[in-house]
Amino acid sequence: MEFINKLSETLLYFVPAVLVLGSLYLMIKKYLDNDYKLRLLDAKRNVSKEMIPVRLQAYERMVLFLERINPSILVMRTSEPSMTADRLHAALIATIRAEYEHNFTQQLYMSPKVWDAIKNAKEETIKLINLSAAAVPDASPAQHLSKAIFDLMVKTERIPTQHALEALKAEARQIF
């Protein structure tokens, strides 16, 4: 009997102590979890603040890329009076590829959808130039290839870079 009294007396002290320690543990755990979440949120905000200017700069560079490979602008910038059609064709394709390689890393800062639209714009522009070049003899003056490119652009509903430019602008607007 005395053992049971000692046991119940011990339990009277031990059970409340365990309950207090358990509640203290849960409170501290909840506090630390909340603190961790707040720190994580703050870190994400800081990264976001730093990334927005970098992303905007990437969008700007890609707008410039798309404008530079726009066939009408590209032909005017690349063409020289003494060029033949085959030399202009090679120069146009080389310029597009060089511009693309120069801006290739910008894909890190945009969605895969927009990057695919940019790649498609590049490929469609090359395709338009190749189709135009196939219709013009290689030794003819560069002006003939230029005219063939402009004629094909008129026949198509959209400039190849137009869709990519619209997708890029739409994604950039989502930042704000």
Domain residues of the chain, as ranges?
A: 52-174
How many residues in total does the chain contain?
Answer: 176
pLDDT per residue over 121-165, tens digit each? 999 999 999 999 999 998 999 999 999 999 999 888 788 899 999
Tell me the per-residue pLDDT of 76-123, one tens digit each, with 9 for 90 and over.
999 998 999 999 999 999 999 999 999 999 999 999 999 999 999 999
Q: Which of 68, 72, 171 is nearest to 116 (CA)?
A: 171
CA dist., res. 41 & res. 46, Å (int): 9
Round to whole Å and give the CA distance between 28 and 70.
61
Q: Check if the beta carbon of residue 168 is closer than 8 Å to that of residue 66.
A: yes
